Amino acid sequence: MEKEYLYEQETIITADRVTPSKALSVFAAADLLQNSASLHSISMGIDDVTLKEKFGLFWVAAHIVITLNNVRCMNEPALVKTWVRSTSRMKSERLCSISCKNGVIAEGRCEWAMLDMNTRRPVRFPDEVKADRWAYDTDDVDVPRFARIKPDFGEDDFVMECRVMSGDIDISMHTNNAVYCRFLTDMFSAQFLTENPVSTFEIVYAKESREGDVLKLYRKFTDSNTAELGAYNESGETVVAARAVFKKQ
């Protein structure tokens, strides 16, 4: 891959980013995916600060798919790579890989959109934002294409409520998208996740939530190793919908 299209970041996978089996957590993978994209956007001149000042816009992740290989990586140096695969009028697809000396830790596919700061609605990319200049049309990751996720939960699928706290909020004054991965995986015990590590996690973002909001979390297994997950606001609207596939040990 040509270097101008690629952003690389070295990091250490610290203990707060791993599961009890010392593999990268879903939340940490999503967080690294988002952070690497944000840092790359700075060098591209289309970061959130610049977009807000010039156009009153900000980036938001709309759809994420992550594959995790259950590689032991605690306290290991890791290399995060990210690049833009394609850009259309209202969407940009970005790929990401995270690896260490023990192998590929995780890979991700993320669809990004822009929201208007005032209306909080998706908008077309401004002409000045030429993200396609950096697009490198290669699919060099082992990650499924985006799938349709629309769970149908019943009251028996309700697991718990969670309140969005100040530490969950990002610079756009809504819940950080990676935090939803933590909310949803918190519906499983540490023992379950150790015995059944997540191999694929896909999440679709439908509506914002803010500090103080109470979310209802639902979970339903569709087969022995797949669960559909969802978070709903107090009006019953879908905030996020997700699907987790587990690897049986």
SS (H, E, C) 128-163: CCCHHHHCCCCCCCCCCCCCCCCCCCCHHHEEEEEE
User: Against a cut of 0.85, is the pTM above it?
Assistant: yes
CATH class assigned to 147-249 = alpha beta
Structure-token match 């939340």, residue found: 27
Of 2-6, 146-150, 168-172, give the lowest mean pLDDT range: 2-6
Considering the chain, what is the average pLDDT of its residues?
Answer: 92
CATH code 3.10.129.10 region(s) in the chain: 1-146, 147-249
209 close to 215: Cβ distance less than 8 angstroms: yes
Report the alpha-carbon distance of residue 100 to residue 235 in Å, rounded. 43
Return the CATH number of the domain spanning residue range 1-146. 3.10.129.10
Q: Give me the percent of the chain exceeding a pLDDT of 90.
A: 82
Report the alpha-carbon distance of residue 197 to residue 108 in Å, rounded. 17
**What is the reported pLDDT for 1?**
47
CA atoms lying within 13 Å on the CB side of residue 118: 2
Report the relative pairing of strands 158-163 and 198-205 from DSSP bridges.
unpaired
Eight-state DSSP code of residue 124: P
CA distances from 6 to 33, 84, 97, 106, 137 (A): 14, 8, 11, 17, 12
